[in-house]
Amino acid sequence: MKFLYILIIFFSFSLKIFACECNVPSTVEEFTTSDYVFEGIVVSKKYSKDYLTYKITFKILKHYKNGNNPKNLSFVLTIESRYTKNVTSCNWDVNINEKWLVYVNKSSDGELYFSKYCSNSQQINSPLYYRYQRWLDNVKKLKLDDFIYDNEFRTNFSVSYSPVDSIFKNGLKKEYDDKYIGLYLLIDKEGNLKSANMQNQLIPIYDSIYNLKKDIQIVPTIQISEFATDAIELILNVKKWEIRRIPVSKIPISYIQFIGIYYEANEKKWKYELR
């Protein structure tokens, strides 16, 4: 028991342990912003002389983006944790004969790179999930501006929007029973506000191949509070919103913007939060 305790202490001090937290982007967003997306097998792995990095080469079995070339792609990766003794929950490595689905990006200096974490890149140990494989097989037919998006392709994460600020200054000053509501704003390709609704009023209709929203049905709500009525009426006065565009192509898209609206009774002010 004493020997085991000593071992635990030894490894606690000899290994630097870090946590890894990140959000994986949606498939459609990462695919759109990637330079290459391919399925390949590792045919080469060579360590650098200083053992700080290693270079892997994929033989590409199938390109899902940008034609059928090149036939091979190489990447320089950081050395494995068993050499560095820096253990993190993000540790990953690539080995000979492994099969991978890879989403490739290009750094500012033109170097190609990919990651297993914070990405849809993954080692393929068994056939991909059927719907995912069908998505990839049909992705070249995908017309991105045919769909309605949530947070995909969002570049502006500002917490305020000046047209809302000016409209809310003129909001009615009342004593409300309810003082908060979350609304989903449907905004078209020109940045026009088409509707403002509560979540239970929205029925999204998904495409069967890409699992993206191709339409949204709006159902009426029988009962709605006085506060909700006034909040919706208020936000409908903000006619114009950000025009969201697809990266690279800059094609405009329709999207849903969430806004939380609340009334501060003590200050008699309308406030909001964009998410």
User: What domains are defined for the chain?
Assistant: 14-142 (2.40.50.120), 148-274 (no CATH)
pLDDT digits (tens, 9 = 90+) for 68-111: 899 999 999 988 666 656 666 677 889 999 999 999 999 988 89
User: Closest Cα partner for 58 from 28, 27, 37?
Assistant: 37
Q: Token pair of 234, please?
A: 């208020």
Residue 7: predicted pLDDT: 36
pLDDT digits (tens, 9 = 90+) for 198-241: 999 999 999 999 999 999 999 987 788 999 999 999 999 999 99
Q: Whole-model pTM?
A: 0.84
Q: pLDDT confidence of 146, banded at 50, 70, 90? A: very high
Residue 87: predicted pLDDT: 63
User: Closest Cα partner for 197 from 166, 233, 162, 239?
Assistant: 233
What secondary structure letter does DSSP report for 236? Answer: T
